[in-house]
Amino acid sequence: MIVRVKVKPGASKDEVRKIEECLYEIRTTSLPEKGKANKRIIKLLAEFFGAPKSRISISRGESSRDKEVFINL
């Protein structure tokens, strides 16, 4: 499954919110430094979908707030 993600780093709390069928908004307390926010995004999506972190990868937009994420369920 491929989902689009809008990321809001530096938020006051971690949160995943479904906006549309394949569009999610993720607020994370992590800052976009040295891939910290991307690692946190993968962890949050793993918890949200109940999938192992190893089955989730960012396929497009690693350095952007708009990302495309592949989830192998």
Give the pairing type, strands 2-9 and 23-28.
parallel
* Beta carbons of 24 and 6 less than 8 angstroms apart: yes
Whole-number Å distance between alpha carbons of 21 and 48:
14
Domains of the chain in start order, with CATH, are: 2-71 (3.30.1200.10)
Whole-number Å distance between alpha carbons of 44 and 58:
13
Sheet bearing 56-60, strands edge to edge: 15-20, 23-28, 2-9, 66-71, 56-60
Q: Per residue in 8-59, pLDDT tens?
A: 999 999 999 999 999 999 999 999 899 999 999 999 999 999 999 999 999 9
Please determine, for residue 73, whether its predicted confidence score (pLDDT) is greater than 90.
no
